[in-house]
């Protein structure tokens, strides 16, 4: 066998191992969205939907994600509380229920994250995207590693939350308008499942039940008054305060 053939086989084998391990860096693909064209097409439709709900583009936003039901909820400020604008289906996420622990484990994160304008990417190779901000202070306190964990389009995921292109276009335009309208950052709260007592009981034997009980504290505060709580990390656990 020629040396070049041997090297080619070895390279293919290495790529396969890296891909299966989750360590393969995504190839560069030029941005797939023309944001001006997206705005021209989607903004009028969004404005109509928002008007029907007495909501407005540019209002503060808040996002919740539920893994088990593959749902992303987009909430918008309406007076003194947040109102649910729309629930979008998540095309794909990777891994199982439970947090992301390390780079390359293929897990999509769970926890409380924050997104600023600098985390939006209109030139994403996955149509449009924003970085959720993993690892946060909680993740770092537990020694968790990972990078480039996104909500994006294209319906494919390696640790991210992938939406349809139409879905991410609406989400992107709404969160972009909120940040341009003066919201300094918006929360992305990610849960393994709907945090009902029944679901908690069904998963009581999981190794992550303690972590999930901590997540449920923040979940329940929002459910009570429809305002995202102020979140900090103390002694390797999330702490919450009503705003």
* Domain contains 186: yes
* Domain contains 99: yes
The DSSP symbol for 204 reads T
Number of domains in the chain: 1
For residue range 193-243, list pLDDT tens digits in order.
Answer: 999 999 999 999 999 999 999 999 999 999 999 999 999 999 999 999 998
| Under 8 Å between Cβ of 85 and 195 | no
For residue range 89-127, list pLDDT tens digits in order.
Answer: 999 999 999 999 999 999 999 999 999 999 999 999 999
Region class of 133: left (phi > 0), else alpha (psi between -120 and 50), else beta: left
* Domain contains 144: yes
* Domain contains 5: no
* Domain contains 4: no
Expressed as residue numbers, the domain containing 197 is 31-241
| Under 8 Å between Cβ of 61 and 151 | no
Name the token pair of 239: 């702490």
Q: Which residues contact 187 (CB under 8 A, 6 or more apart)?
A: 62, 63, 112, 113, 114, 115, 228, 231
Average pLDDT value for residue range 4-18: 41
CATH number of the domain that residue 178 is part of: 2.40.440.10
Tell me the residue length of the chain: 243
* Domain contains 2: no
* Domain contains 25: no
* Domain contains 171: yes
For residue range 130-179, list pLDDT tens digits in order.
Answer: 999 999 999 999 999 999 999 999 999 889 999 999 999 999 999 999 99
**Which amino acids are annotated catalytic?**
152, 160
């Amino acid at each position: 066998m020629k040396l070049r053939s041997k090297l080619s086989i070895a390279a293919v084998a290495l790529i396969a191992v890296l891909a299966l391990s989750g360590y393969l860096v995504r190839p560069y693909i030029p941005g797939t969205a023309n944001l001006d064209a997206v705005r021209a097409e989607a903004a009028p439709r969004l404005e109509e939907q928002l008007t029907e709900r007495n909501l407005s583009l540019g209002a503060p936003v808040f996002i919740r994600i539920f893994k088990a039901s593959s749902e992303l909820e987009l909430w918008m400020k309406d007076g003194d509380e947040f109102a649910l604008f729309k629930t979008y289906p998540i095309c794909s996420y990777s891994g199982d229920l439970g947090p992301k622990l390390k780079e390359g484990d293929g897990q999509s994160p769970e926890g409380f994250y924050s997104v600023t304008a600098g985390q939006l990417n209109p030139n994403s190779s996955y149509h449009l995207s924003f970085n959720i901000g993993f690892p946060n202070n909680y993740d770092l306190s537990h020694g968790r590693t990972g990078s480039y964990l996104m909500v994006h389009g294209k319906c494919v995921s390696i640790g991210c939350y992938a939406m349809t292109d139409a879905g991410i276009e609406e989400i992107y335009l709404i969160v972009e308008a909120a940040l341009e309208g003066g919201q300094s950052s918006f929360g992305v709260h990610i849960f393994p499942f709907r945090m009902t007592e029944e679901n908690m009981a069904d998963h009581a034997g999981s190794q992550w039940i303690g972590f999930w009980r901590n997540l449920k504290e923040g979940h329940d505060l929002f459910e009570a008054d429809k305002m995202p709580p102020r979140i900090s990390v103390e002694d390797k656990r999330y702490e919450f305060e009503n705003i």
